[in-house]
Structures are given as structure tokens and as C-alpha cells.
A and B are shown apart, each in its own frame.
Chain A
Amino acid sequence: MQVFGPSELLEDVLNAGLCIGCGACVNLCPYFRSYKGKTAMLFPCSRETGRCHAFCPKTEVDLDALSTAVCGSPYSGSPTGTYQQVFMARAGEGAGNGDFQDGGTVSALMKFALESNMIDGAVLTGRNGLVPAPGLTTSAREVPAFASSKYTAAPTLAALNDGFNRGFRQMGVVGTPCQLTAVAQMRTNPLQDANFADPVALTIGLFCTWALDTRGLLAFAQKRAPGEQIRKMHVPPPPAGIIVLETDTRTLEIPLEEIRPLVPAGCRICPDMTAEWADLSVGAMEGKAGWNTLIVRTAKGNSLVRKAAVARYLELADFPRENWKDLETAAADKKRRAFEKARQDGTVNAEAGCRAALRVDPRTLEKMTAD
């Protein structure tokens, strides 16, 4: 993994329009800050290497190195990454109620992880109007307040960095695949800091095919539903082709075509749909409202799921095989599109001396982009 500094980050990511505002570079130092979904560099920093660049999921992500560090082997290019088991899941009665997005699996697991002291703080993403508002909570009771998906790219990791600065060393993070790519890079101690301590004890990933630009969505909502508060958003599974915005008084169904221009360019080179670097990955359950797809990837994730099920925080069921096929196809599609786009842009495996957004063994790349 090649680490550069903030100037390269500014040039290759922020100025190139690839920033997805994940917040990994925010709150590490006085220079990067996030406001209303957008990350800004306040002043130039002259360092040649920096954590900002090392953590960023949109520049110099070496998939083979990362996979080796997280899973013990180079990046295989398989559509859904390394995993142990897949379930259908939803929150059990022990977890209580909430305004969950789907089955409430994520909220239930985070609640349980806090209560069982597996983590000392949960990094979650709430909202302030349409603006995502990440936060760190130490109280299981507060977890439901963060429930439901914000379909906007969020600076969730700014809250993680803030937690680190405040001394938390056992945090649980819920994040989108790009965010968890940054977290995985963070945990490899890329600057080889002698005093490094891994601050993360649990990662729960959300499936994601794209997110929306916060400011773009704000302007869009202002135009389409002026003065109204958007309470909830959801994207019904294909072939619906719409995004649903619920306001206090009505439900707006917006064709995806209309909203697609609000997808940040960074999403278009993201090869990960199922949050491959997480302990657990959670998505909607196609054809079964009120349930989640739950991918168990690590031993740590497995242990949490088992314990949560025993404690009735989680209800598990078998995952139907045919759904898995669809999921793999969707995930493989996203990978192919992303690498093709990156290849077009010249940002995958750039020539010697040039910087790249993504790096991966060329043979794996061939395999993933073959039709």
C-alpha cells in the first residue's frame, strides 16, 4: 500500500470529485473537516505522508494487501467477498422496537454489542433533516434513534476519529462498504506508528449500490417538496426502479433516473456491494419485507450473531439459495462496472510513477471484468 500526503489527497480525490465524504480523513487533525455532507480541506498541510491519505477509500486502495491483512489471502474478486455463512435475520423481541429500515438486524446487533460490553461505543449515523449526522453513543438505549438508512453519503468516520481522540479503543462501527474499506485500512496501521492501537472491535457493513450527494438531495427535495420534512427514504428492490421519499403528509415515488445525477462520482468506482471487509454485512431481504440479509464473515461476527440469537436480540432463518444467486449477480455487476469505469478513467493499477485509486492483481482484474 502506497501512502502519500494531504496534497495528493486533495488533488486525486477532493479536486478530482471522487470524495464520497466518508469522514475517514476528518478530525484526524485540524485540516480536513466535513460540513453538510461535504469534506473540505481548510488549510494546506505540507506532510509527505498522512493518515488522511492512508485511510481514504478513494485513493491507493491496494485490494490484495487489504485482503491479505483482513482475510489472510489476496483479493479473490469473488462477488461477495470472503464469508462463513448467510442468514435471513431480523431483530428479536429482546431488542425492542424502532423505526428500522428493514428487519432491524443492525440496530439489534449494535445494541447487543454495547450491552454485552463487546464494544465501548457505537459509531452510528443519525440525521438532521436530510443531512446525515454521525455520532458515537455508549448507551444501548440510544441505538434506535440512529435506525433507518440515510441514502446520502455520510461522514460517519468523522465520528469514529472523534471517538479515537476521546480515548475510545473498542468501538463498533456501522458503515457502508466505502466507509468500511477506510476502517480496514485504518486498522492496518498504514503509517506504521509505534504507538498504534486498533480502536475498532466490531464492524457491521451495509449493502450499498450507490448513495446520494447530501447537498444535491437537499436541493432536489427543496424543489420537489418545498418546505416539507422528509421522514424516511427507501429503495424497493428491482425492478421497481424508484426511490421512495416519505414526508409528514405524503409519499413521493421518484424514478431512479431523476435521482441518478445526484450519485457522487466516487460511487462509480466502488467495487464493493456487500461490505467485504466487515465482520458482518447486512442488507435488505429481497422479496421478504421486514427481514434482512445477514452475511457472517469473521469468527468475531459469528460469535456476536450466535450470542445475540441466544439472547433473543436476533431472529435467524435459513437464507433461500435462489436469493443468493441474485445477490451474487448484483454484486458481480457492481464490481465489473466499477473496475471498467476505473480502467476508463485510468485510476486502476496506474503506470509506474503514477497514482491509482484502486490496485489489484491484473489477473483478478481480468476475471472480474470479463463478461
Chain B
Amino acid sequence: MSRIIQGAPGEHHLFMGNEAIARGALEAGISVAAGYPGTPSSEIIENLAADASETDVYVEWSANEKVAAEVAAAASFAGLRALCVMKQNGVNVASDFLLHLAGGGTRGGMVLVPCDDPGALSSINEGESRHFARLLEVPLLEPGDFQEAKDMIKWAFELSEQIGNMVMVRSVTRLSHASGDVELGKIPESDAKARFRHTGFILDPEQGAMTSAPVGYKHALQQEKLQKAEALFEDAPFNTYTGPENPELLVITSSACHLYSREAIGILGLENRAGLLKLGTTWPLPRQLVRAHLEKCGRVLVVEEVIPFLEENIKVLAAELAPEIGAKTFYAKRDGTLPATGEMNPDHVICALAAIFNLEYRSAPEQYTEKAKLCVLAGAPGRDLTFCPGCPHRASFWTLHNVLALDNREGFVCGDIGCYSMGMRETGFYTLKTMHAMGSGTGIASGFGKLDRFGMDQSIVAVSGDSTFFHAVLPGLVNAVHHGSNFTLVIFDNSGTAMTGFQPHPGLEVDAMGKPAPPLDIAGICQAIGAKVSVCDPFDLENTRDTMLETLDDRQGVNVVIFRQSCALSPEKKGKPRYEMHLDQKVCMGENCGCNKLCTRVFKCPGLNWDEKNQAARIDEVICAGCGVCADICPAGAITKKEAG
């Protein structure tokens, strides 16, 4: 049982944003929650899943975001409230379905929570999801603090049912992953009954078939729903204004940027000069509300992450209203007042405000800044992102790198998102050469594998994680086999969705709620699709190398090699080293010709470091995870392993 279902109404708890969202969903009386893991969204489903036995909510980690949206939609069609959760780019995956869903409408309340990652703190993009609200023509809410994160979810469900369409509630990393005070509400008793009514007239939203066709009629209806939402937004409790009656500058903001803006105004002491309009309902904009504030001020600063979404929408309103309220001067991203990319922070807002108000502002004395810069240069060790000690990916990329070098045909690896994305960096020996969306490695390899007719004779390898395999690799693999593409797909089967915290996937024997589930056999699936399949343990360097060399030589169709070894942090491994390691510094060749620090200069497991005094390598017993791999790479036999008792 997680802490989010404990606590009586009126009590105050310290909740992480994602916990607040989950609690809000429970207070809204949801029956179904579905999602796909992805930072910063994962804790929402995790918390709901942990309480599933208590709450009677059906919770699942779906195979991908589109399926999650479909699963949630089914609950809504059957009259239940359903929550659907994903990270920002998950919405791209789900968008095809979402477009049709939004066109056809929902019944039981359906709320989609995308968690965006401005600054790409744990993503390889900072694409955001807000513009989907405009594209899909559904209402968008953005909580500005932790309390709102909870309350807004409940409100969103009510809104969804009032307008008969899904509602988006967008969070960001700094809200999802930071914690704050939340006053609890009541979690209702559940007596939900599911029934899909479909025998009515086709256009009947409550009894007919669910679809976005006929488009002419349904699209007009969808627009009406949006207008209804806008009307409700005019009085929404999440739009607030603080500041003077007639400010010199109107700051319009939303989400976590509201906190940065408040702080910036406070630090500069502008409380009596700048007004802060914090919007919780950002699409469609409540026209009258925004007008009332624009009217009173000639200058506007818009603070938001990441694309100028709010800025543009407000500018459209301002242009429409200009004949009545006059032209406004805007400061925001498009004019360069605020950075166009990356995360927002109080400093950016302070600088913007200082420039607009012509104020001197220094966050620290100049001398201090200069000195700090020097200290950082001299004192901070250069640290790249690295795989954990004992991580199977280090061994896997070691072998992939080496076999491609031996193969000597300028071969390369196409990959996608997962811990193994770091294969693009030093820790993965710079082996990964393309990295895009989930499953893209396989799709791209499928394309490369057909270019032999244009003289391409390079060896092609695609990599994917086990969870990714189910998420988005299957269509690419099917495509490749059907079209006779030539490449090798390596599936890193580390038994879980390791990057996001070991959420189960269809290949495992449990589901999100911890109940037994039939595991799907990746090898069997690949075989059935028509690929040649082999399995190896990446910690067995020799066998893995030989298997890979053999597959690279077989230039006929698709080979799948499953690298099976669980993650070093997996619950069954953590803290239980397989081997006791020993490094004999007298045997170590160190910098001499014959080794030249292979283990600490190239292999670079954090468990190994260079002992300057003895001019030899040494094992850091605290960090070493006892995987034993370094013993097999040391050319001198200086590192030995002994099965741990």
C-alpha cells in the first residue's frame, strides 16, 4: 500500500507532484488507469498500481502509449472514469488514436496526463505536449503547484464528463518530481459498473457507436464542446491574479513557471509594479478573463516552457481584441527576452524583468562569479554519463564495438531510447550511431538493410530493449522480415523497463499490480515472424562475440540476437555480487605496451580506478558490483574472479 491512499480529508501531506496527481485521480473515483513508463511520468501509475488491491482500480502498464490511451478510452466508453499517463513523446505515439478519440468524444470522464520534460533532463528531446491540445481540439489544464496537481485532476474529470470529451492535464518534471504540501480530499467508495451501450442511433453520444465519423457533424460538435470548456474556464478556480490593480507589466504564466515568476517578482521587489496572471486553463484561453487583464496594462511578459504556446495564443487574442483594447507590447520568447529552448528558472525571469524595468541585477558579486568559474575549471573532475558498475550494457557494447571493428566494414548500430542510448557516448564506446524514437533503431535498420543495391556493404545492427521490443519494435521487425532486409537486431533483455524503474512489460510474469501474467517469449515471437534467433549472455564475452561475428557474416535476412542478462540494479541482483573480484597489482601491466590501462582508460567500469602511486589499476570494492567482466578483458590476467559464497 502506498501512502497516497492513506490520510483523511483535510489532512496535509507532503506529496510529490506525481503522487498528488495519483491521489487526485483516486479522489475523482477513477476505475481504470493505463500508461507506459517514461520519466517524469512513471510514479503516477506506479502509485496507483501499488494500491490497486485496496482501491479496486484496474491499473496496467500497457505495451505502448497508444494502447494505453485505447485501454483508458474503453473504460470511458463503458461509462467509467479513466486516467491515461505518459511522458511527452508518448503523446506522439498515441496521437493517431487520440485524434480519432477526440473527434468521437468520450462518456465516462477521461483525463490524459502527459508529463513534459523541459530541458530534456531525462529525455533526448524537449518536445512538448501542449500543442496537442490545440491539434486534437481538447481542453488543456496546467497545474501551477502541488495542491492544484491533485485538485485539477478531479476537476478535469468533471469537465470531461460535462463536455463529453477527454481533457489533458499537463505536468512537467519540476512539478512531477518535486514535493509540496497537499491538503487531502475524500476518496469515494466505488460502485462503478461497466457497460458499453451501442444499440442507439449512430449519432447518439450516449447510446450509439463510438467514432469520429461522420466527420462534418462530429467535428462541429467537437468545436461546441471546446466552446463549452472555454465558458467554464472563465470561472475556473485555477486562474489567479496577484498584483496591483493597474500594473506596469502584466506577467502571464502557467505551470511551474508560475513559481519561478512569483519568486522573481519577489526578489526584485516588483510586487507593486508587476501583476502576475497565472493561468491553469491554457487551451482554449478564457477570452474574457484574459481580456480583463490585458485591458489594464500595455506591456505583457509571457513566461512558459518550452515552445511559445501560451505566447502565441495570447497574441492571437490580443490581435483580435486590439481594436477595443489597443496594441500591446509583448516580451517573451519570440523577441528573445526569454530563452527559446531549455528549462525556465527564476534567474531567466529575473533577468527578463530587470531588462524590462531597467534594473541592475546581479545574482552574485562579479568577483565571486569569476572565482567560482576558475574553481569549477580546476577542481571539478570531468565526468561523463556512464553505465552503472556491473551493467550488462557495458559488456554488450564492448562486444558490439569489437565485432564491428573486426568485421571491418564500417558497420554501425542503430538504436533508440533506453539506458542503452548511452551507447552513443564513451561509456558505450561510441558504438551507437543513430538514436531516435522508441523502436526507430529497427525501422531505420530495416531501411539501411535494403540499400545494398546502391552499393552499401556496411554491416548493420539495430538494438532495442526488451520493453521497447513490445512497444514499437515489432512493426519494424515485421517490415524488415517481409521485405528481406539484411541486418542483425540485438535485443538487450535485462528483464524489465530498467531505465524508468523496473516496470513490468509483456515479457514478464507479473503485471503492474503484481499479479501473475502470462509472459510473452521474445525469441518465440521473433522466430514466428521469420527471423533467425539466437540467445547469449553478454557477460560471456567470447560466446557473444562469436555469435555476433557469425550473424554479421550471414547476410541473408534478419537475424535476432537476444542478449540476456538482468540489469545491475534489478531487485534480484542489487547488493548481491556474483563474484568476489581481486586485482593483483604486481601482475598488472599498467601503462606498459601490452595493455596501456585497458580497464581504466577504455573499458571504464566505475568499479575500477587507476592507482597513481602504484602505477597499477585497482578495484574499488564499494562500487564494484561483482559482474566479473573485467577479469575477462584484462590481457595480463591481473584481475581474477571467484564465485561469491
- Interface, chain A (partner B; CB < 8 A): 28-31, 33, 35, 38, 40-43, 45-47, 49-52, 191
Contacts and interface: CB of A to CB of B under 8 A. Distances in A.
Interface string B161-197: 0000000000000000000000000000000000000
B407 A29 contact: no
Contacts of B596: 29, 31, 45-47
Interface string B388-416: 00000000000001100111100000000
A264 B90 CA distance: 52
A42 B601 contact: no
B478 interface: no
B167 to A, nearest CB: 53
Nearest to A54: B593
Given A29-B635, A42-B401, A49 B593 contact: yes
Contacts of B593: 28-29, 47, 49-52, 191
Contacts of A45: 596
A42 B405 contact: yes
A350 B460 CA distance: 40
Contacts of B602: 43
Contacts of B635: 29-30
B496 to A, nearest CB: 31
A194 to B, nearest CB: 12
Contacts of B598: 29-30, 43
A49 B594 CA distance: 11
11 contacts: A28-B593, A30-B598, A40-B405, A40-B406, A42-B406, A43-B401, A43-B429, A45-B596, A47-B593, A51-B593, A52-B593
A109 to B, nearest CB: 32
B50 interface: no
B595 interface: yes
B406 A29 contact: no
Contacts of A191: 593
Contacts of B591: 47
A29 B593 CA distance: 7
Main secondary structure on chain A at its contact with chain B?
A: loop
B633 interface: yes
B601 A46 contact: yes
B408 A38 contact: yes
Interface string B572-599: 0000000000000000000101111010
Contacts of A41: 405
A317 to B, nearest CB: 45
A40 B545 CA distance: 15
A55 to B, nearest CB: 11
B535 interface: no
Nearest to B402: A42
B549 interface: yes
A28 B402 CA distance: 16
10 A-B pairs with the lowest CB-CB distances in the bound complex, closest first: A35-B406, A40-B405, A38-B408, A42-B405, A29-B594, A43-B602, A50-B593, A30-B598, A30-B635, A45-B596
A86 to B, nearest CB: 39
Contacts of B594: 28-29, 51
Contacts of B406: 33, 35, 38, 40, 42
Find the residue from A28, A35, A191 having the highest chain B CB count within 10 A: A35
A25 B393 CA distance: 29
Contact of A35 (B401, B407, B429, B595): B407
A49 B592 CA distance: 10
A31 B602 CA distance: 10
Contacts of B549: 35
Contacts of B633: 30
Interface in B575-634: 591, 593-596, 598, 601-602, 633
B408 A29 contact: no
A242 B617 CA distance: 56
A191 B633 CA distance: 25
Contacts of A31: 596
B469 to A, nearest CB: 29
A13 B635 CA distance: 24
Nearest to B635: A30
B293 to A, nearest CB: 61
Interface string B554-583: 000000000000000000000000000000
A30 B595 contact: yes
Contacts of A47: 591, 593, 596
Interface in B128-151: none
A313 to B, nearest CB: 38
A184 to B, nearest CB: 19
B595 A40 contact: no
Contacts of A43: 401, 429, 598, 602
A45 B635 CA distance: 14
Interface in B398-441: 401-402, 405-408, 429
A48 B405 CA distance: 22
Contacts of B402: 33, 42
Interface string B53-69: 00000000000000000
Given A35-B549, A43-B429, A29 B595 contact: yes
Nearest to A47: B596
A4 B598 CA distance: 20
A38 B595 CA distance: 21
A52 B595 CA distance: 12
A46 B406 CA distance: 20
Nearest to A29: B594
A47 B589 CA distance: 13
Contacts of A30: 595, 598, 633, 635
B614 to A, nearest CB: 19
Contacts of B401: 42-43
A188 B71 CA distance: 75
Contacts of B405: 33, 40-42
Given A30-B595, A30-B635, A49-B593, 19 more contacts: A28-B594, A29-B593, A30-B633, A31-B596, A33-B402, A33-B405, A35-B408, A38-B408, A40-B405, A42-B401, A42-B406, A43-B401, A43-B429, A45-B596, A46-B601, A47-B596, A50-B593, A51-B594, A52-B593
Interface in B360-405: 401-402, 405
A52 B594 CA distance: 9
A47 B591 CA distance: 8
Nearest to B597: A46
A172 B162 CA distance: 91
A46 B590 CA distance: 13
A104 B602 CA distance: 46
B61 to A, nearest CB: 39
Interface in B502-549: 549
A54 B406 CA distance: 22
A33 B602 CA distance: 16
A30 B632 CA distance: 11
A46 B596 CA distance: 8
Nearest to A33: B406
B481 to A, nearest CB: 24
B282 to A, nearest CB: 51
B362 to A, nearest CB: 44
A191 B593 CA distance: 9
A328 B507 CA distance: 71
B635 to A, nearest CB: 5
Nearest to B401: A42
Contacts of A52: 593
A40 B401 CA distance: 12
A222 to B, nearest CB: 11
Find the residue from B405, B429, B596 having the highest chain A CB count within 10 A: B596
Nearest to A27: B635
Find the residue from A38, A42, A49 having the highest chain B CB count within 10 A: A42
B123 to A, nearest CB: 30
Find the residue from B407, B591, B594 having the highest chain A CB count within 10 A: B594
Nearest to A45: B596
Find the residue from A31, A41, A46 having the highest chain B CB count within 10 A: A31
A367 to B, nearest CB: 37
Find the residue from B402, B549, B593, B601 having the highest chain A CB count within 10 A: B593
